[in-house]
Structure formats: C-alpha cells, structure tokens
Chains A and B, each alone.
Chain A
Amino acid sequence: MASTPKNKLGIRGWVCGGRYVVERYAYIIHRISGIGILVYFILHIFVTGSRLGGPEKWHSTMSFFETPLFKFGEYLVFAAFAFHALNGLRLFFNELGFLIGKPARPVFPYKTSIHHQRPWLIVLMILAALFIVVGGLDFYILGE
C-alpha cells in the first residue's frame, strides 16, 4: 500500500495554483521582488565594503559591475523597488482593515473585499508602471 499523496502545491502553487484574482499574482510578485531587493542589499554591503581595501580594489570591483548585464540587474532592482513600495502601500492599509469595505450579507454575485480595494490596486499599478518606464528611459537613454 502506497502512502497517501500529500497533494500540496508547494512553491509551484504560488504561480500555477489555479486561475484566481489578479491580487494573487500581486502577492507572488511582491514576494519575489522583496527577496530580490534583500539579495541586492546584501550584495550592496559587500560591494561597498570593498572600498575598505583602498581605491584600487574599489575601482576594480566597480569596473566588474559596469557590464551591461549588471546594469540590467540594477534596473531590475529599481523596478522591483517601485512595485514593492507601491503595492506595499496598498497592503499596509488593506492589512489593517482599511479600504476593504464592511461585512454584509452575501448576495450573489458576491462583492468581496477584493472588489473594494481593486481601484487602489489599479491606480498604484499604473503609477508603478509609469515609474518603471520613466526609470528605464533614464537608465538607458537619458542617463547615457
């Protein structure tokens, strides 16, 4: 007799757990961008720490990071930050029970807390997209 399959979705379940509301994807991107920013911070401390090794060490480290790949990485960190900050603003209020409506007798078609906060998500995501596009222009076109 085989043991009962656990049928837990695991990390796969963050992305392919089923077709539900867009907020579920915001949750995942929020997580991934958060982890990305954390990894960047740790790296950042080590990189700037190389300044202690004198100007030569500093310059050699910096030139190592001047490749297009790292520049793109830096842009990704910026994009992650823009998303994480703006989505985090929404979550800050939502998770304290604001902007999600009030309990009411459920009448089909159900209107839930998710519908109540949706306009905020839309506005903030437009803002995030704007930041990411303008940031991209600055990184690659205006900043050259």
Chain B
Amino acid sequence: MENSKQTKETVNNVIFEVLRYNPETDKKPRLEEYTVKVTKGMTVLDGLNWIKENLDNTLAWRSSCRMGVCGSCAMFINGRARLACNNQIMHINTKKLVIKPLPNFAIIRDLVPDFEDFFEKHRTIKPFLIRKKAEELDNPGNEFFQSPEELANYIQFAYCIKCGICLAACPTCATDDRFTGPMALTQGWRYVSDSRDEGAEEREQELFSRHGVWRCHFAGACSDACPKGVDPAMAIQLLKRDMFFKQYEKRKKSPARRETEESKEWKPNPDIPKPPDPTV
C-alpha cells in the first residue's frame, strides 16, 4: 500500500498546451492550456488521459495499445513527432508540453490526424508476398524456405507500426503531396528484398514513379524520428541502389547496345557504290 502511495505522489505541475479543433464549431485550430499533475513515470498519453478524466472530456486523440505497438498515438510534442505512449513527460520537459497533431496530415479533430491517404499509398505498393504462381499461396507444395541471412535482409523494415511519424518529419512530405512517403517506400523494399517474393516488377511503377524514391534526398529525419528503429532512409537508398544497378545490367544486355558494340568492327556496306578512281 505504502509503495503505491509513493508512486502516486505528484512530482510536478506541467502545463499541457494542446491544439484543439472541432470541425463542427471551430473555424480554425486553437491552443488550449491545461495544468496536469504529473506523477513519476507518467507518459504523455497518461497526461492526456488525466486531462480527459479530470479537466475536459471533449479532448480527442487516437490511442490503443499504450505500449508503442499499435502506432495510433503519434503526435507532434515539443518540436518532434513522437509516440505519446513511449515518452515520459518528465523526460521531455519538466514545465511545459506543446502538443499538436502530426504535421503533414489533415486534422480530423483535435489531435486526430487523417491517415486515409497514408494507408492508400501503403496499399499501392502491394504490401504482401507476391508469387508468380498465385495458386502457390493457397496450396503450397513446399515450405517457403528462408535462411537466417535472408531474414536479416528485411526484418528491420518489418518492424514498422505505420504510425506516420516518418512522414511528419520528412521535409519532402512537407511540400510534395504526391510523394509516396518513407513508410510506403520502406514497405516496398521490405517485400522486394524478401527472398520469397517475386513481385519486384509489379511494384516498380509505384516505387520508381516521378513522386517515388527519387524524391527522397536522404535528409534522414525519418530514421531519426522512427520510434521502432526501422530506418526508412536506409530502405529507400537500398531501393535506389537496386533500381540503379538493375537498370545498368539491363542496358548492358539490351539488343540496341549489343548492336552498337558489334558494329564497331567496320564492314563495307555493299549498297553504297565505290568512289570513282582518283584522277591525279
């Protein structure tokens, strides 16, 4: 009993400045201040829950797992996009938190960002294993063998929880609406680099479109901000490398190129008449 009393002790009063926006009543988003009694170990998500229970039950946000697994609670907290549930208030700031919805996403209400387009882009890169023989997936004749080394090639990118933080941090996403985005591109590479997958060509159009990988200029903010250590910047550069060398190989083997190489050996063209004999 005494122990629980000890942990419940308020360590600080922290001001939460939270962006509020209700599409039915507000013309523009506004900021509202709340004073939160913070106890030891309290996360930002706990703080928001405390506000909802004690001060203002109209505050809206999205969360579910409260342990950094579902990817629902990403928000913009004190100058960085992060998960509300895996950041402790006292670790961020002891006096004041400014909490806004994830930038680069439309605001549905308060801290709830609109992920419609984000998930649509995820869909376009076909985030599933593609086999040339489709029946194989329903009636596998054999195990799809994969060695630990082959697993290590992509497992890092499979840790993505689709939280949208990387898009909020990316400077390209700030100006280019149609950029496929670090999450979808990374998932593209997660499947392309999977030894069991045969869908690289099917995904080419989306991944290498005008608003695909080449819009990323390796600013690295995505990898810095990602709460799961997914490293989208690496996946995107590996995609570029794969594309570049594949194209290079294709060019080398293309018939047009072979022809020009063969024609280096000069042979007289029988259709062209011989020049007349010199007169002097």
Indicate whether A68 reaches chain B with its CB closer than 8 angstroms.
Answer: no
Q: Are A20 and B80 interface neighbours, CB within 8 A? A: yes
B residues 162-190 near A (Cβ < 8 Å) are: 168-169, 171, 174-175, 177
Q: Which residues of B contact A97 (CB under 8 A)?
A: 237-238, 240-242
Q: Are B152 and A21 interface neighbours, CB within 8 A? A: no
Instruction: Please provide the 9 A-B residue pairs with the shortest distance between their CB atoms, ordered closest to farther.
Output: A13-B174, A106-B229, A97-B241, A110-B229, A27-B219, A113-B234, A9-B174, A20-B221, A23-B220
Report the bound CA distance from A8 to B67 in whole Å. 28
Indicate whether B157 reaches chain A with its CB closer than 8 angstroms.
Answer: yes
Please pick, from B21, B229, B233, B238, the residue contacting A108 in the complex, using a CB distance under 8 A.
B229
Q: Are A10 and B231 interface neighbours, CB within 8 A? A: no
* Whole-angstrom distance between the Cβ of B175 and the nearest chain A Cβ: 6
Where chain A touches its partner, the secondary structure class is loop
Q: Are A103 and B241 interface neighbours, CB within 8 A? A: no
A residues 91-141 near B (Cβ < 8 Å) are: 91, 94-98, 100-101, 103-108, 110, 112-114
Residue total for B at the interface (Cβ-Cβ under 8 A): 57
Q: Are A7 and B217 interface neighbours, CB within 8 A? A: no
Closest residue to B239 on the A side, CB-wise?
A97
Indicate whether B76 reaches chain A with its CB closer than 8 angstroms.
Answer: yes
Please pick, from A13, A113, A114, the residue contacting B104 in the complex, using a CB distance under 8 A.
A13
Q: Are B157 and A113 interface neighbours, CB within 8 A? A: no
Q: Which residues of B contact A13 (CB under 8 A)?
A: 103-104, 171, 174-175
Q: Given contacts A18-B81, A100-B234, are A95 and B218 in contact (CB under 8 A)?
A: yes
Indicate whether B261 reaches chain A with its CB closer than 8 angstroms.
Answer: no
Q: Which residues of B contact A30 (CB under 8 A)?
A: 217
* Whole-angstrom distance between the Cβ of B264 and the nearest chain A Cβ: 29
Q: Are A5 and B220 interface neighbours, CB within 8 A? A: no
B residues 71-112 near A (Cβ < 8 Å) are: 76, 79-81, 101-108
Q: Given contacts A94-B218, A103-B231, are A7 and B224 in contact (CB under 8 A)?
A: no
Q: B residues near A, CB below 8 A?
A: 21, 23-24, 26-29, 76, 79-81, 101-108, 113-114, 152-157, 159, 168-169, 171, 174-175, 177, 193, 217-221, 223-226, 228-231, 233-235, 237-238, 240-242, 244
Q: Are A18 and B28 interface neighbours, CB within 8 A? A: no
Q: Which residues of B contact A11 (CB under 8 A)?
A: 174-175
Q: Given contacts A11-B175, A18-B79, A106-B231, are A114 and B223 in contact (CB under 8 A)?
A: yes
Closest residue to B219 on the A side, CB-wise?
A27
Q: Which residues of B contact A95 (CB under 8 A)?
A: 217-218, 237, 240
Q: Are B237 and A94 interface neighbours, CB within 8 A? A: yes
Q: Which residues of A contact B175 (CB under 8 A)?
A: 8-11, 13-14
Report the bound CA distance from A20 to B240 in whole Å. 23
Report the bound CA distance from A19 to B77 in whole Å. 11
Q: Are B240 and A5 interface neighbours, CB within 8 A? A: no
Closest residue to A4 on the B side, CB-wise?
B106
| Extra A-B contacts (4), CB below 8 Å, given A2-B26, A10-B174, A95-B218 | A31-B217, A96-B244, A103-B231, A105-B152
